[in-house]
Amino acid sequence: MSAAAPSPAAGAAPDAAPGREAVASAYQHFEPRAYLRNNYAPPRGDLSSPDGVGPWKLRCLAQTFATGVARESQRGSVPLPRPVSARSSQDSDPGEVSGRTLMDIGSGPTIYQLLSACTHFEDITMTDFLEVNRQELGLWLREEPGAFDWSMYSQHVCLIEGKGESWREKERQLRARVKRVLHIDVHQPQPLGAGNLAPLPVDALVSAFCLEAVSPDLPSFQRALDHITTLLRPGGHLLLIGALEESWYLAGEARLVVVPMCKEEVMEALVRSGYEVRDLRTYIMPACLQTGVDDVKGIFFAWAQKKEGV
């Protein structure tokens, strides 16, 4: 998106071609490494404080995949499972959010959102609109020189999961279970296009900081959510992470516009797309993590289940 994106023509749908073209044009200037430095290196990438945004996201994901139930404590954290060091690293309780196939919608250049998922799903599809992001993912998946170092995130996930697994084992498992990295356009009724290679419908969807960041407005966000929901089987689960009350962010030379959303609007959108919202919680971005790379006020995490017949 661009701050200079044209308004839709009178009578046109809010996410009509000009709006979508403005989004696509702005993202041609997206710099994956700048985005990673801004959000996944210190200070935001500092995982040493349990109150940081990184540990909060990883806890939300780990607990939901492990048990299907994750409730916040008063200070906003999620209760952790009791470590069981004698259990094999390849063993896992299936939990409610489990199956064979999982798709990550709008992966960007990041893999942290799948570190807990890979224990519970054997066939994972990653997707992104931008070739530069798919290339960045490929560097890490192929263990090529110059790939972004996610080892601190992998170590942290192993710590909070408490199964005695090493971070190297965790990363090997994720690399083995990502079967494909595909192009996606969430603004199309068939987001993956015709003749795609993904096994559809999938058992679960994950999406982090995608839909609100590529939609010109709230109606467009709703349609994008509707589109990706077609990729999910009835009864399947969606884990959605996104920004609250954010209007822009930086990724190198790109200054990208975001649809500002509140918790209630996220809830309403999920219900309209045919989900039962199982859990929805928020994180307030502390002043020490407001670094000038965006104007985000907080983060939401939603666990929703697609209703039968949708």
pLDDT at residue 94, as a whole number:
64
**Does 27 carry a binding-site annotation?**
no
Closest CA to 117 of 234, 50, 203: 203
Structure confidence at residue 197 (pLDDT): 87
pLDDT for the residue 23: 81
What does the pLDDT read at residue 81?
37
pLDDT recorded at residue 78: 39
- Is there a binding annotation on residue 128? yes
**How many secondary structure helices (H) and strands (E) does the chain include?**
9, 9
Q: Give burial (CB, 10 Å; 0-12/13-18/19+) of 80.
A: middle
275 marked ligand binding residue = no
Mean pLDDT by 10-residue block, N- to C-terminus, for the chain (310 residues)?
A: 32 52 88 98 95 97 76 38 35 76 98 97 98 98 97 97 96 98 96 92 98 95 98 98 97 94 98 97 97 97 93
Whether the bond between 43 and the residue before it is cis, its omega within 30 degrees of 0, is: yes
Q: How far is CA 199 from CA 122, 151, 158, in A?
A: 12, 29, 28
| Helix (H) or strand (E) run with residue 276 in it | strand 275-284
The b/e string for 293-302 (b: 16+ C-beta within 10 A; e otherwise) is bbebbbbbbb
Least Cα distance to 250 among 309, 281, 290, 285 occurs for 290
Largest CA distance in the chain: 64
40 is in an annotated binding site: yes
Does 186 count as an annotated binding residue? yes
* Distance (Å, whole) CA 220 – CA 30: 21
Distance CA 90, CA 99 (A): 15
The answer to the question of whether 133 is labelled as a binding residue is: yes
